[in-house]
Amino acid sequence: MPASSHPSPSRSGQVTMAMVATRAGVSTQTVSNALNTPELLRPETLERVLRTIDEMGYRPHRAARSLRTRTSRLIGYGIRSAASGGSSPILDRFLHALSATADEAGYRILLFASPAGPDSLAVYEELLGERGVDAFVLSDTHRGDRRQRWLDQRGIPFVAFGRVWSGRETGDWVDVDGAAGTDAAVEHLAALGHRSIAFLGWPRGSGAGDDRAQGWLRAMRRHGLPVRGRRAESTDDVPSAAAAAVPLLDAGATAVVTASDTLALGCYRALGERGAAPGREVSVTGFDDSPAASLVSPGLTSIGQPLEDVGRECIRLLLGRVEDTGRTPERVLLAPSLVVRDSTFAPL
């Protein structure tokens, strides 16, 4: 059987649609249909074309498809500047979940460095201008973050990991219910028999921090436990947290719920400095279940975020919005889970 002539199957080992077409004895459009709208083909033709595709190891050229369909099937994720410090929300697991879910839907994640400054929008604009992405996933959203409004005005699909705490919200988001987390921590401690449960949080004004404080507050009230003088604030570093914890311990707290693992380890230090030990004299809980939580002694009871679920939901919402841009905003609030280790115990 002589090799079919027109599209040379030689060179570069790259198989094109035309080659598949001649080999299967159909037109290129039919090959295209076999992949994109199989229901249009007669079953036997479909089968034949698909088999040929398989035999030849054909894969559609992403750029060509992208050019024609005017979509890139790429989702942009701006990784914040490392300089900005900030608690990396255990990026690792989140990103993995994001790419895994996206992959399943035929999308991929495009990673770009996004400066923290006010000109952060420039990169987003560039990416859109060159039609490099169809949509964005945002994280590390903060009060006064201009990205949501900016994207919304241009009709670009996006999802944020993290609520928009300020004023009028725009767009879809997925977040973890911080209040439910600290609430669960109080529940756990109360069940163990604690009655003097303090809270060590971040300075008011950060959405997530206030949310976590709220959960402690409502659980304490529900149990009829005292909250006056049992609350302190600190920036997110160990020395400050240790200092902030002192008055709480002086006031006789037998347990401290905190807004982060860093703050919790500040309590560890404060306890160590007064010759006491977490998990023996005083119970301590953290937030985030960061790697450090399982490494320290005693192991830190902490609140784990379901980052895999967050990633999955982000993609789900995003794809929904790509299909129906005008849809009413959708929000997903996921429950964190308490990971009990040795830093919490039954007193007396």
Partner DNA sequence: GAAAGTGGTTTGAACGATCCAATGAAAGAG
Partner DNA sequence: CTCTTTCATTGGATCGTTCAAACCACTTTC
Residues in contact with its own copies by the rule CB under 8 A: 14, 57-64, 66-67, 72, 74, 77, 79-82, 88, 91-93, 95-100, 103, 108-113, 123, 126, 129-132, 238, 261-262, 265, 268-269, 272, 290-292, 294-297, 308
Residue range at the interface with DNA (CB under 7 A); choices 53-61, 77-85, 229-237, 278-286: 53-61
CA distance linking residue 281 with residue 167, whole number of Å: 43
Interactions with DNA, residue window 70-129 (CB under 7 A): 70
CA distance linking residue 58 with residue 41, whole number of Å: 19
Which pair of tokens denotes residue 190? 């109360």
Given 22, 41, 260, 288, the residue binding DNA (CB under 7 A): 41
CB 106 to DNA: min, Å: 11
Q: How many helices (H) and strands (E) does the chain have?
A: 13, 12
> Torsion angle of alpha carbons 211, 216, 220, 223, nearest 10°?
90
Given 1, 5, 13, 42, the residue binding DNA (CB under 7 A): 42
Region for 113 from its dihedrals, namely left if φ exceeds 0, alpha if ψ lies in -120 to 50, beta otherwise: beta
Give the contacts of 132 (CB within 8 A, at least 6 positions apart): 72, 74, 76, 110, 126
CA distance linking residue 247 with residue 253, whole number of Å: 9
CB 91 to DNA: min, Å: 33
- By beta-carbon proximity to its own copies, the closer residue of 57 and 226 is 57
Residue range at the interface with DNA (CB under 7 A); choices 29-37, 150-158, 191-199, 229-237: 29-37
- Partner in contact with 267, chosen from DNA, its own copies, none, beta carbon below 5 to 8 Å by kind: none
Give the contacts of 278 (CB within 8 A, at least 6 positions apart): 267, 268, 271, 284, 298, 300, 343
CB 194 to its own copies: min, Å: 23
- DSSP3 helix / strand / coil % (the chain, rounded to 5): 45, 15, 40
Taking CB under 7 A as the rule, does residue 18 contact DNA?
yes
- The CA distances from residue 347 to 174, 192, 193, 227, 255, in Å, are 37, 7, 7, 19, 9
CA distance linking residue 279 with residue 344, whole number of Å: 5
Q: Is the C-alpha dihedral spanning 28, 32, 34, 38 positive or negative?
A: negative
Residue range at the interface with DNA (CB under 7 A); choices 27-35, 204-212, 248-256, 309-317: 27-35
Residue range at the interface with DNA (CB under 7 A); choices 52-60, 90-98, 276-284, 288-296: 52-60
CA distance linking residue 163 with residue 207, whole number of Å: 8
- Partner in contact with 16, chosen from its own copies, DNA, none, beta carbon below 5 to 8 Å by kind: DNA
- Partner in contact with 110, chosen from its own copies, DNA, none, beta carbon below 5 to 8 Å by kind: its own copies
Taking CB under 7 A as the rule, does residue 40 contact DNA?
yes
- Partner in contact with 120, chosen from DNA, its own copies, none, beta carbon below 5 to 8 Å by kind: none
Taking CB under 7 A as the rule, does residue 45 contact DNA?
yes
Q: Are 223 and 190 in contact (CB under 8 A)?
A: yes
CB 326 to DNA: min, Å: 19
Taking CB under 7 A as the rule, does residue 132 contact DNA?
no
Which residues sit at the interface with DNA, rule CB under 7 A? 14, 16-18, 25-33, 35-36, 40-42, 45-46, 58-61, 64-65, 67-70
